[in-house]
Every structure is written in C-alpha cells, then in structure tokens.
Amino acid sequence: MPLYEYKCEKCKIRFSVFQPVEEGKENLACPKCESKEIKKVFSSFSSYFSKDSCGSSFGFG
C-alpha cells in the first residue's frame, strides 16, 4: 500500500497516509485541525539497488 503525503491548506502542516491507490482523499481530514481542505503533495523517495540485484541489464555484469 503506497504512502501519500498531503498538506493542509488551513493550518499548513504536512502529513502522510497509507492508502490504497484507488482511494481518493474524500475521507481524509487534517490530523491537527480536522479540515477537509487538503492537497496531495509530491514527496521525495529513495531506493537502493545493489550490484547483485540489478543484473546485466544495468551494465553490472
């Protein structure tokens, strides 16, 4: 299940929510002020690839 980040338009905090891909923000509210005025924001992510997991298609081998 993906982790999505939202920003409350009222109190400006950012918060994260685990939710299914097909579920929208209709049932979500800000955990601080309970406002429904929230906006999905892009978040950074990181990933780790080891030499062994990439195989020859990435030039390692």
Which pTM value belongs to this model?
0.66
Q: Is the CB of residue 33 less than 8 Å from the CB of residue 8?
A: yes
Residue spans per domain, the chain: 3-43
Band the pLDDT of 21: cuts 50, 70, 90. Answer: confident
The rounded percent of the chain whose pLDDT value lies above 70 is 70
State which fold the 3-43 domain adopts.
Rubrerythrin, domain 2 (2.20.28)
Residue 8 burial (10 A CB sphere; 0-12, 13-18, 19+): buried
Amino acid at 18: F
User: What is the CA 61 to chain-centroid distance, rounded?
Assistant: 33
- Specify the 3-state DSSP secondary structure of 7: strand
